[in-house]
Structure 1
Amino acid sequence: MTAEDRPGPLAGVRVLDLSGMLAGPYATMLLSDMGADVVKVEPPHGDRTRKVGPWRDDADRAEALGGYFQSVNRGKQSIVLDLKQADDVAVFLDLVKVADVVVENYSAGVMERLGLSYETLRQQNPRLVYGCLRGFGDPRSGSSPYEDWPAFDIVAQAMSGFAGITGELGGSPLKAGPGIGDIFPGALLALGVTAAVRHAERTGEGQFLDVAMYDAMLALTERIVYQHSYTGEVPAPMGNGHPLLAPFDILRTADGWLAVAAPSDNHWRILTETMGRPELGTDPRFATNAARLENIEEVRAMLNAWLATQTTRQVVALLGGKVPIGPVNTAADIFADPHVHRREMLVEIEEPGSSRPVTIAGVPIKFSRTPARIRRRGPKLGEQSTTGVLASWTAASAAAQQGEDNV
């Protein structure tokens, strides 16, 4: 059996995905990559990201999927249900009866107004795992004064303190380039769902779980919490440096930029010897991490002076594998890097309406026995029928129950 034939570790797990935009779909994308059968339940107008590009210039726009949607909805199926209509609600409830997981990222109270709260769905299926992601959490887990506020990635980055420590030294707050205020909460939701599914398999008990974007980003920015607790300090933007480690920076070379991390004294000695300044490795002003922090401006000045005489390629040839360093890559650099090809981190998938495939980011979690992989392109709106999904899931649920009974 080839890797393409082997099921992922979540094979057999059936997921109803009501989420839209980035955070929720990223969570269900991870579940799909690991083998879960994810059915995206979309309103008649579809997920809003279906209208977002970029688009292939040769693509038939009636068929094409934009890059935003393709990237985080790969591997899923799509059905269309209007959950404000009684007939479609009835179909949805039939699907819930044979599902393992429901995921949604509506504002608090939306599912209750639709008559589809966790408590209602649990009556249909006591084993159901119900995962939700909101800006400030669900009141079931702790009422937030902001629970009615809408939130996007940039809001979570700001309120969690992440943006407050990101930016030029002494400068203004800065958000991260990628949408980590969505992506990291989505990753935590996938982890929570997987854990809850494991519990349901052992006990027959489903449960409700939620992730707040604010909470997740605060957990990601954990350093500012202990810094403030230990010292009373209010951390501020540090540029590319680090308040506790030195050198730990992104610095300019003769032709680009390079990450240099040599806070260990051994790495520092290797670095200074390579620079032709071995005396700096034993100089008491620089020999230890604490001393280098005390004299960080001198450390940066020395490194900047040396790096200005070297190309990025030269420094990588001198220090790669000896000191933690790495070039600041562009997307073009990444596409040319053998690492991402050997690790299958650039994956080509079909683009409807185009004669050429498109490339999306691959699966970073590597399993030896149950490979995670991108199994298909993103779905067209309503590409699957509700009757077909229901029949397939009902049969799979009956087979699973028969297997349990035989055990």
Structure 2
Amino acid sequence: MNNPLEGIKVLDLSRVLAGPWCTQLLADLGAEVIKIERPGAGDDTRHWGPPWHGEGEDRVAAYFLSCNRGKKSAAIDFGQPEGAALVSKLAEQSDVVIENFKVGGLQKFGLDPKSLRAANPRLIYASITGFGQDGPYADRAGYDYIIQGIGGLMSITGLPDGLPGGGPMRVGVAVVDLFTGLYTCVAILAALYQRERTGEGVHIDMALFDTQLAMLANQASNALISGKDPPRQGNTHPNIVPYQPFDAADQPIIIAVGNDRQFARLAEMCGHPEWTRDDRFASNAARVAHREEMVRLVAQAIAQKPAAEWLEQLEAAGIPAGPINRISQALGDVQAQHRQMVRTLAGIPLVGSPVRMDGARADSDLPPPALGEHTDEVLAGLGVAADEAARLRAEGAVG
């Protein structure tokens, strides 16, 4: 296994998804991640089931398992002064702290960036909030669903108004949280590199709202350049035609024509090479302008043969195409199996890391932790004696 971040210690004060997604990636890359959780309760997502893994009091929600591989769990109540002192001491030994509390929410515990960086100037402190550390919305809570709405993503997702089922729709996975976790990880890696030159850490300010706007990519650029809001287009592409699902004789397939050379091959396969000589279809810009007619003609041709036959021919022609799989089909696909994207840790089936370096997977072998599984280990690392740990546990400062 590749461990490029071996020796880096991360103190994870985050919960739910954006922060844990970031710290899981850091753990996969070899960092030691200590996840601080509330005694007796833990990360909220431990209870976001069904589905569950395990039974009774030991059961844990699949949601939690998806984003907490590779971490150690220490149950410490930093709402108590002694618990806060323990977390502060851990921060002194850490390279990175990640938190996703409301702006200023950790200051009363002495766990804010100013306090922790004063004791450890090399500390990289990453804050994840809904709207950032400043601005008129800074005090608002941020949830992926809300950000998808206010950030414009839902306005371009779903079927157009007027069609059955038309209207704004959220994406089927919490993409804003996930993208924010990824952007935060990138910022942390950059800060670690910068620290090698300056000797000092930084305070990273990440906002779900900012990330949502950034990830609009070409759609935001389309709006800025044209002065018009992009419409909802369902499964079609705003800038490329044909680039959407088509119904073959037995089931739908996706055909994604990315350039005029691919279109010429598709036209030949459909039995209409003359399309390339038709001014309405000869270029992508023309096909976008005549989208309705182009899609109608391609759809008529695709409907004549079964999906498997089309997919074989499209692959041979170098035209991107594929089926519309259910998640179980995608996870069981021969390519997913070859790449070993599904793995089992301590009897728990998980999706593995997509990162590979020199052929080696960057993927932690440490399964998602039980609540407080590593509390004693973490306390021992701070020099807390066994009898002192027992007293702290009895008083509820640790679990």
Q: TM-score, normalising length from structure 1?
A: 0.88
Cα shift at 1:121: 0.2
Is 1:77 paired with 2:72? yes
Is the Cα contact below 8 Å between 2:89 and 2:382 reproduced in 1?
no
Is the Cα contact below 8 Å between 1:259 and 1:326 reproduced in 2?
yes
**Structure 1 segments unaligned to the other structure (5+ residues):** 351-356, 395-407
Structure 1 counterpart of 2:49, which letter?
G
Is the Cα contact below 8 Å between 1:94 and 1:390 reproduced in 2?
no
CA distance in structure 2 between the partners assigned to 1:222 and 1:334 by the alignment: 26
Task: Provide the residue aligned with 2:334 in structure 1.
Answer: 338
Listed as ranges, the matches of 1:127-166 within 5 Å are: 127-138=122-133, 143-166=134-157
Is the Cα contact below 8 Å between 1:23 and 1:182 reproduced in 2?
yes
**Structure 2 segments unaligned to the other structure (5+ residues):** 384-399
Matching residue within 342, 365, 371 for 1:381: 371
Cα shift at 1:348: 1.7
Change over 3 Å in CA distance of 1:127–1:370 after alignment to 2: farther
Matching residue within 349, 352, 357 for 1:362: 352
Change over 3 Å in CA distance of 1:390–1:194 after alignment to 2: farther
Task: Provide the residue aligned with 2:388 in structure 1.
Answer: none
Is 1:251 paired with 2:246? yes
Identical amino acids, percent of aligned pairs: 35
CA distance in structure 1 between the partners assigned to 2:202 and 2:313 by the alignment: 54
Q: The residue matched to 2:362 in structure 1 has which SS?
A: coil
**1:149-205 deviations in Å (ceiling 9; x for gaps):** 112111111111111111113441111111102111111111111111222233210
CA distance in structure 2 between the partners assigned to 1:130 and 1:327 by the alignment: 43
Q: The residue matched to 1:347 in structure 2 has which SS?
A: strand
Moved more, 148-157 or 162-171: 162-171
**1:62-99 deviations in Å (ceiling 9; x for gaps):** 22332111110011000011111111111112111110
Moved more, 266-275 or 357-366: 357-366
Is the Cα contact below 8 Å between 1:344 and 1:362 reproduced in 2?
yes
Cα shift at 1:60: 2.5
Task: Provide the residue aligned with 2:234 in structure 1.
Answer: 239
Matching residue within 304, 312, 333 for 1:309: 304
Moved more, 71-80 or 306-315: 306-315
User: What count of residue pairs does the alignment treat as equivalent?
Assistant: 377
Task: Provide the residue aligned with 1:8 in structure 2.
Answer: 3
Structure 2 counterpart of 1:340, which letter?
A
Is the Cα contact below 8 Å between 1:9 and 1:371 reproduced in 2?
no
* Superposed structure 1 runs of 4+ greater than 3 Å apart: 54-57, 390-394
CA distance in structure 2 between the partners assigned to 1:216 and 1:348 by the alignment: 32
Is 1:20 paired with 2:27? no
Once superposed, what is the RMSD of the aligned Cα atoms?
A: 1.8
Task: Provide the residue aligned with 1:169 in structure 2.
Answer: 160
Change over 3 Å in CA distance of 1:197–1:390 after alignment to 2: farther
Listed as ranges, the matches of 1:221-300 within 5 Å are: 221-300=216-295
Q: The residue matched to 2:97 in structure 1 has which SS?
A: strand
Cα shift at 1:303: 1.8
